Amino acid sequence: MSEHAELSKIRNIGITAHIDAGKTTTTERILYYTGMSHRIGEVHEGNTTTDYMAQERERGITITSAAVTCEWEGNRINIIDTPGHIDFNIEVNRSLRVLDGAIFVIEGVAGVQPQSETNWRLADRYNVPRIIFINKLDRTGADFWHAFGTLKEKLDIVALPLQLPIGAEENFIGVVDLIEMRAIVWEGGELGAKFHYEDIPDDLKEKAAEARQELLDTALAVDEAAMEEYFEKGDVSKETLKRCIKKGTISGEFRPVLCGTAFKNKGVQPLLDAVIDYLPAPDEVEGIRIAPPEDEEVDESFLPIVPVDPEGKFAGLAFKIISDKYGTLTFVRVYRGQLSTGDTVLNTTKGIKERVGRMFQMHADKRQEVKTVYAGDIAAFVGLKDTGTGDTLADPSDPVVLERMQFPVPVIDISVEPKTKEAVEKMTLALQKLTAEDPSLQLRTDQETGQTILSGMGELHLDIIVDRLRREYGVEANIGAPQVAYRETITKPHIETYTHKKQSGGSGQFAEVKIKFEPSEKKDEIIFENSVVGGAVPKEYIPAVEKGIRNQATTGVLAGFETVDFKFTLLDGKYHDVDSSALAFEIAAKACFREGMKQAGPVILEPIMDVEITTPNDHVGDVVGDLNRRRGIIQNQETAGSTVLIRAQVPLKEMFGYISHLRSATKGRASFTMQFHHYEPVPRNVAEEIMAERRA
């Protein structure tokens, strides 16, 4: 088999969805039917292949994205099973970045849920072709057409059914295949491995004919030759129709929809066929863009693209890092060329050389060694010392830098202190490893208290990290109560001049700076501009001014929180031939910040969360009243059967411990999901409370 032919038989796909929609269960079935596992693991029994961490098995959720490789009909499928919980959204983000296609699992009762929407937008950002699998059609209350309706309503897409369900809830037995116009019916007992074809049931014939016509009208519109074939013959061949569906899937003109119930082993084999038929091989998508130069504003559409090319010089993107008992594993998606064990590559992001020790194809936490990897492959490298998530590895003779990843802002802090003095070094090392694995986790030292502060995406996220500290690294730690990650910013421009003079025998210190501080439109950025003319501040001291302000911005003037979203311009200054130095200008800049920011209308910002609550009808009043008390703003309410979906925006500060309150208020019948939406200024009375707490 030539390398190019091999490339056409590779599929790099992700399985993604809202929490509890059935991603891991679907992955387990795929592994069983492709012969990679000899039994089917179940989430509720804690013995699945991809949920291999102890915390995943205990909690029945996916935390880290696991990579598995399997074979289907002579094709190799690399699958990444991603988490559904918003606290682990980083895992979905980095997985979608390196995949060529995705299966979106949608729950058959609820339809599109909040995390499905978030993940869908991420897939839009990276332009990932996707197919949709409406799952759990055996559940009480499952309704294919309701779930299908939410695709258009919430994702605003052209959804195109390739199958219709036969039966519903406990009577769901199979699907109508609209490509072949026949029924696929699964037989019981054999774990769904056995099914047979039969004629479409009479009660579905009319609906199937309508759906088939819609399929033809939508799919053939992407291909002129197919349209001509249809007008000539009144129909098209199966091959032509599949070609059109693949073309529309890759371009995003429409999104194919399949259905089934993974838990009851129905619908998985046709889903695998659809992965091969409609999702692209690595060389059927455009590849990855080259990263823009650091700190430069460029139109991304003008950046060159690195296509997947087996013949080119090696280039790959490191998208995930795991530290385990064997050392550090760096997951790399290869875009160009090939690489063998023992080769040296250049980490072009950091400008350092790395030698590749060994390489593995991963099967969750098991591994198979490979000697060479090729364009299109996903593999785990051992022996890379300084490569982090999002770094590019490339042939030193063609040092390309591939498009970087964007990571979410942590919104919640805890303090971490080891219980014994001896464990300090051990804890520091463990936390460094954990933050290297997970870029949505941040580590810093509080300047005032000297405490180690860990910032993450939510209470569950930090809970898991603390649990891993104890189990994997043997560090018992005292944990401070979760704190909101507040920020500070300014609301009006102000110009401040500050002179730093120190004369105490010997050489003195002198520096004067005149700086304009103003709010910035750009979020999550601090912008510096140098407007000094005529050498009033020598060039060599300008970086010191910038460094001083950026360092001081980590401690705001109101309550000591990090200051964000502002611009500072160095307008003028003075220096002394003998007494001026970089240190003097840095000190002057810091003091100028402390004085100037007080006059620029400083405010405290708090994270506002998007909250979605599913509650029975009879508890809506209690839930809404409680949200209002928590400073929440109700966005909308939707009724689905006997349940109501309430969407609101609520400050994170008011949401700590919410789950236990919600359960007691609704007798355990309501559930909620929450994700970060934006930062906004806190009301004056809350700001005063926060400042009083910080002073205490």
Sorted by sequence, the CB contacts under 8 Å of residue 132 that are 6+ apart come out as 103, 104, 106, 151, 159, 255, 256, 257, 258
85 is in an annotated binding site: yes
CB 8 within 8 A of CB 277: no
- Counting beta carbons within 10 angstroms of the beta carbon of residue 313, is it exposed (0 to 12), middle (13 to 18) or buried (19 or more)? middle
One-letter amino acid for residue 476 of the chain: E
Residue 549: φ, ψ to 5°: -65, -45
136 is in an annotated binding site: yes
One-letter amino acid for residue 332 of the chain: V
DSSP 577-639: TTT--HHHHHHHHHHHHHHHHHTS-EEEEEEEEEEEEEEEGGGHHHHHHHHHHTT-EEEEEEE
20 is in an annotated binding site: yes
- C-alpha–C-alpha distance, residues 441 and 83, integer Å: 16
- C-alpha–C-alpha distance, residues 123 and 556, integer Å: 36
87 is in an annotated binding site: no
**DSSP helix/strand/coil, 513:** strand
Compute how many other C-beta atoms are within 10 angstroms of the C-beta atom of residue 201. Answer: 15
**DSSP helix/strand/coil, 494:** strand
CB 579 within 8 A of CB 619: no
Q: How many residues does the chain have?
A: 696
Instruction: State both tokens at 219.
Output: 């799919």
49 is in an annotated binding site: no
SS3 content of the chain, % helix, strand, coil (to 5): 30, 30, 35
Cα separations (Å) of 422 from 219, 414, 432, 454, 468?
Answer: 66, 21, 17, 20, 19
Sorted by sequence, the CB contacts under 8 Å of residue 100 that are 6+ apart come out as 11, 12, 13, 128, 129, 279, 280, 281, 282, 284, 285
341 is in an annotated binding site: no
Q: Which of 295, 218, 222 is closest to 257 using CA atoms?
A: 218
165 is in an annotated binding site: no
138 is in an annotated binding site: yes
- C-alpha–C-alpha distance, residues 383 and 194, integer Å: 45
641 is in an annotated binding site: no
124 is in an annotated binding site: no
| Beta bridge pairs of residue 225 | none
| Beta bridge pairs of residue 453 | 415, 444
162 is in an annotated binding site: no
413 is in an annotated binding site: no
DSSP 196-240: EEEPPPHHHHHHHHHHHHHHHHHHHTT-HHHHHHHHHHSS--HHH
DSSP 19-88: TTSSHHHHHHHHHHHTTS-SS---GGGT--SS--SHHHHHHTS--S-EEEEEEETTEEEEEEE---SGGG
CB 475 within 8 A of CB 426: yes
Instruction: Provide Rg for the chain, Cα atoms.
Output: 28
82 is in an annotated binding site: yes
143 is in an annotated binding site: no
19 is in an annotated binding site: yes
146 is in an annotated binding site: no
539 is in an annotated binding site: no
Q: What is the DSSP letter of 389?
A: T
Residues flagged as binding site for GTP: 17-24, 81-85, 135-138
Residues flagged as binding site: 17-24, 81-85, 135-138
